[in-house]
Structure 1
């Protein structure tokens, strides 16, 4: 996912702790909790997914204590800069526009193509019709510039629902997010058209002033890449995907 406009809104907090910029402190990890398999809230009401596993391991290696906070996507950057949590770890692609407002660690997930999904029987022309995308994402901006009509929704689930109920001809989102939805649809949904390369790899967002925290996380990310832990977690959560760092 990528961020194209900074919106304000109320944060939903599931954990609170003090800010941290040094080893041994507690930091608050901000995520959306609605973008499986990157991040989601499980049946026990706990934040789960690839990024929960990655984030917990990063904090362990950096000798930090992590607590987890959920926040709606369209206000996730403003609430980081406001100090409501200390990082964003939410499937957020590194982009030049975002980098003007916050800073990023090195990537912990490689660039993922965006893909179109429509109801079975649709053809490629659906990509030029009415296309659903999540608000404040680069997918929404791309659809608007593609000649199609974009209809935006606050959550990724709503974009898929719009296709199912006929509000949209197709949805454009990260392939990694849509893949399981298509597989579990029993043939109701299909991929159509070409994949679209948008944004860079996924990194952890931090405030520009938190240079020490960024350095600590970069060191932890590098160690996870070097010993194969990160590649193993990607394969575990993304259908055996092989990524070598």
Structure 2
């Protein structure tokens, strides 16, 4: 009986080790070029390519999990996946709940977009995606904040007159403005927010955090991260 118990315990330990080798990467899949669902129904974008390379360098077996933005931090904390890689800016507020790696994208600009350049973004109705750094900025600005679950809904709110402008990452909004045929325009100057974009992890996963930090450092050192940033965001994107 004792041998059976020991054998069972050993098998359980082995299974635990095997499970630990698979890291579930949580992302939104709705925020190009950071992450999106391609025509084949697969998660794609800058963070998919980068995440796969980081996992390779860290000798991790990673699989991708799609999760809505508004529950992406609670579901990480609840262990429904092991990381967040979803264009998430590193902020003090979020860092009170989860941990972050070093940034894999430098701080980038946010902008207002509207149907007219004359919109008053200081006192108007501004649409943002819920629980974002942009939502916090608008809430503190004196403008009227309206939040939506998805980035697509923020654009629709401007087009249908529900909001005067949308405030989001310039990298996300710029292609939409370009494809609008003049219907949408950028209003005002670029506004930098946050401390760059990093992987979110549970506070208890310090070892995993270290592995990803080492992988990010190696990509910064050999220039491959800058090459990937240019590929997805263009020559004008901030780099390391």
Fold in common (TM above 0.5): yes
Q: Check 1:21–1:62 CA distance in 2 against 1; reply closer, same or farther (3 A cut).
A: farther
Aligned length: 226
Give 1:38-57 correspondences, 5 Å limit. Answer: 38-57=34-53
Q: Secondary structure at the match of 1:150?
A: strand
What is the aligned-residue RMSD (CA, Å)? 1.9
Partner deviation per Cα, 1:41-99 (whole Å, 9 max, x = no partner): 11111000000000000000001111000111111011001000000000000011111
Mapped contact 1:127–1:170 kept (Cα < 8 A): no
Q: Check 1:20–1:28 CA distance in 2 against 1; reply closer, same or farther (3 A cut).
A: farther
Q: Check 1:112–1:242 CA distance in 2 against 1; reply closer, same or farther (3 A cut).
A: closer
Q: Find the counterpart in structure 2 of residue 82 from structure 1.
A: 78
Partner deviation per Cα, 1:16-41 (whole Å, 9 max, x = no partner): xxx99899811100000011000001
How far, CA to CA, are the matches of 1:45 and 1:178 in structure 2? 23
Which structure's CA Rg is the greater one? 2
How far, CA to CA, are the matches of 1:20 and 1:146 in structure 2? 48
Q: Find the counterpart in structure 2 of residue 125 from structure 1.
A: 120
**Structure 2 spans left out of the alignment, 5+ residues:** 1-14
> Among 129, 139, 146, which residue is 1:144 paired with?
139
Q: Find the counterpart in structure 2 of residue 8 from structure 1.
A: none
Mapped contact 1:231–1:242 kept (Cα < 8 A): no
Q: Secondary structure at the match of 2:131?
A: coil
Partner deviation per Cα, 1:126-157 (whole Å, 9 max, x = no partner): 45211101111121122122121111100011
Q: Looking at secondary structure, tell me which structure has more helix per residue.
A: 2
Q: Secondary structure at the match of 1:106?
A: coil
Q: Check 1:20–1:178 CA distance in 2 against 1; reply closer, same or farther (3 A cut).
A: farther
> Among 213, 223, 234, which residue is 1:228 paired with?
223
How far, CA to CA, are the matches of 2:238 and 2:109 in structure 1? 15
Mapped contact 1:20–1:27 kept (Cα < 8 A): no
Q: Find the counterpart in structure 1 of residue 152 from structure 2.
A: 157
How far, CA to CA, are the matches of 2:17 and 2:177 in structure 1? 41
Matching of residue 180 in structure 1 with residue 175 in structure 2: yes
Q: Find the counterpart in structure 2 of residue 71 from structure 1.
A: 67
